[in-house]
């Protein structure tokens, strides 16, 4: 449309509709289709109109933002169980930034309580703010901060802790809470839940309220954790529609879709429970599992923040110099996402791929010198089985760790870091990898 401003420019748009002229204010966007004008509104949604509907438009200095008065404090019911709501950031704690039209992590945790008043009828909430971070920016030091925050919550009498978190790496932090509290055979003093949302709370289609309600309900009224599969759990939408949330073992979950509201699935095992939100109160559909009793952990095992793990994808572009660079830089471990049953490009049957031979010799020498090399499944689902093909047997002979494991790749990264943090070299990692520490590796077998 002639004269339509650059994307991101604040505009006042007047359009002609069947009910008369209507005014919209927002940010100009690239048209969503031919002969259309598109504007991002203050509520986060985009609207498009045919150019023929446009009566006029005016450029603005900025999009007026309606100032919201702070809500008065709401008294909490002291008879309800105490739950710490630990805020790290992510879409569940975000708003649309109308200066750019992008979603930014900038909610205060108390705003979550005001936005979802149902939480106050489930538990007595104490909000704790660790930061406003997108989950792709998190590092192991942030796992430790979460572990300390849960420890402080339980010390203050909380029966559960809910960590609000961006979904992109939520599965890694959930695994970190699991290994931190139960990797040495114990169990946390209370329930730990990680939850997030795919759509920000100020959008009509947000999954944030239901995810929060389900997470707080589990943290306040769920079963006592056994330390096996349930040391930390992820709770998010079970389906794309409203009404149910799924409780997934934190040690075996994965984000499998970039935008759907039911973006998380358990890997190589079943979900723990479902939470029904269709009635007046949330209800838990859960069948207790029989496990040996574990002693309550006095404190979590923190991750050694100096540990460095180099990750590689096994494919046609895996070059030996990449791996050699990590070895020369003295990374503590090499983690390969192997193809199929856990294979690496280390064979040269046609005599035309010298880089494969170089990679095999390099890894063989590195393992012989005590280097830690682990392979997980690039396929995500299914076991690592290096007994089926001769290449897999050769990899085992070289000293590559991983055979028989059902541990998902994300959880595997965290498990490897945990084992390195506990102490010991290659043999200690190999021994720990061959165990089912907390439900990450069910039915482990060296088939």
Q: Which two tokens stand for residue 46?
A: 């985009």
CA distance to 55, 291, 384, 436, per residue, from 225 (Å) = 62, 11, 29, 17
Q: Is 91 a catalytic residue?
A: yes
Count other Cβ atoms within 10 Å, centred on residue 144.
Answer: 17
The secondary structure of 252-294, three-state, reads CEEECCCCCCCCEEECCCCCCEEEECCCCCCEEEECCCCCCCC
Catalytic, out of 38, 164, 168, 262:
168
Supply the DSSP symbol for 239: S
Residues 6 or more apart whose Cβ sits within 8 Å of residue 331? 308, 309, 310
Beta strand 82-87 pairing with 124-129: parallel
Q: How far apart are CA 328 and CA 319, in angstroms?
A: 15
Q: Is 97 a catalytic residue?
A: no
**Burial group, residue 286, by CB count within 10 angstroms (0-12, 13-18, 19+):** middle
Return the ∠ at Cα 185 (arms to 150 and 376), rounded to 5°: 90
Radius of gyration of the chain (CA): 25
Q: How far apart are CA 98 and CA 310, in angstroms?
A: 39
Q: Which residue has the tokens 């750019």?
A: 100
Q: Which two tokens stand for residue 332?
A: 């503590």
The set of long-range contacts for 134-138, using a CB threshold of 8 Å and a minimum separation of 24, is 134/89, 134/90, 134/105, 134/166, 134/168, 135/88, 135/89, 135/90, 135/165, 135/166, 135/167, 135/168, 135/169, 135/170, 135/173, 135/196, 136/166, 136/168, 136/169, 138/88, 138/166, 138/169, 138/172, 138/173
Catalytic, out of 38, 150, 164, 167:
167
Catalytic, out of 88, 91, 169, 195:
91
Catalytic, out of 40, 255, 391, 415:
255
CA distance to 37, 150, 375, per residue, from 325 (Å) = 51, 38, 18
Tell me which H or E stretch contains 178.
helix 170-182
Q: Is 169 a catalytic residue?
A: no
Q: Is 164 a catalytic residue?
A: no
57 neighbors 14 (Cβ within 8 angstroms) = yes
Q: Which two tokens stand for residue 67?
A: 């100032």
Q: Which residues are catalytically annotated?
A: 91, 167-168, 255
């Amino acid at each position: 449309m002639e004269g339509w401003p650059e994307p991101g420019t604040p505009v006042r748009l007047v359009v002609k509709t069947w009910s008369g002229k209507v005014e919209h204010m927002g940010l100009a966007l690239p048209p969503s289709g031919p002969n259309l004008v598109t504007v991002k509104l203050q509520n986060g949604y985009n609207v498009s109109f045919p150019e023929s509907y446009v009566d006029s438009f005016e450029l603005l200095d900025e999009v007026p933002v309606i100032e919201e008065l702070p809500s008065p404090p709401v008294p909490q019911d002291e008879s309800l169980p105490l739950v710490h709501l630990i805020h790290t950031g992510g879409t569940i704690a975000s708003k649309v930034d109308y200066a750019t039209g992008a979603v930014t992590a900038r909610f205060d945790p108390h705003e979550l309580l005001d936005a979802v008043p149902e939480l106050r009828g489930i538990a007595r909430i104490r909000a704790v703010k660790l930061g406003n971070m997108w989950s792709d920016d998190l590092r192991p030091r942030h796992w430790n901060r979460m572990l300390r925050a849960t420890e402080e919550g339980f010390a203050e009498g909380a029966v559960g802790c809910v960590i609000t978190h961006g979904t992109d790496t939520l599965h890694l932090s959930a695994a970190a809470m699991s290994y931190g509290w139960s990797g040495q055979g114990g169990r946390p003093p209370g329930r730990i839940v990680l939850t997030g949302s795919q759509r920000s709370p100020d959008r009509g289609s947000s999954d944030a309220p239901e995810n929060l309600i389900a997470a707080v309900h589990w943290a306040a009224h769920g079963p006592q954790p056994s330390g096996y599969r349930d040391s930390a759990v992820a709770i998010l939408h079970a389906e794309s529609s409203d009404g149910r949330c799924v409780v997934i073992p934190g040690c075996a979950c994965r984000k499998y879709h970039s935008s759907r509201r039911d973006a998380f699935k358990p890997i190589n095992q079943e979900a723990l429970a479902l939470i029904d939100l269709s009635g007046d109160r949330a209800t838990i559909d859960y069948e207790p599992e029989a496990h040996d009793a574990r002693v309550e952990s006095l404190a979590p095992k923190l991750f050694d923040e100096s540990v460095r793990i180099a990750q590689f994808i096994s494919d046609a572009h895996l070059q030996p110099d990449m791996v050699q660079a990590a070895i020369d830089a003295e990374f503590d471990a090499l983690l390969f996402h192997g193809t199929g049953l856990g294979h690496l490009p280390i064979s040269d049957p046609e005599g035309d791929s010298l880089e494969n031979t170089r990679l095999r010799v390099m890894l063989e020498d590195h393992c012989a010198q005590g280097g830690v090399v682990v392979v997980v499944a690039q396929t995500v689902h299914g076991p690592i089985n290096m007994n089926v093909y001769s290449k897999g047997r050769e990899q085992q002979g070289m000293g590559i760790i991983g055979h028989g494991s059902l541990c998902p790749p994300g959880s595997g990264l965290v498990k490897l870091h945990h084992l390195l943090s506990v102490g010991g070299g290659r043999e200690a990692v190999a021994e720990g990898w061959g165990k089912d520490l907390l439900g990450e590796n069910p039915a482990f077998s060296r088939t």
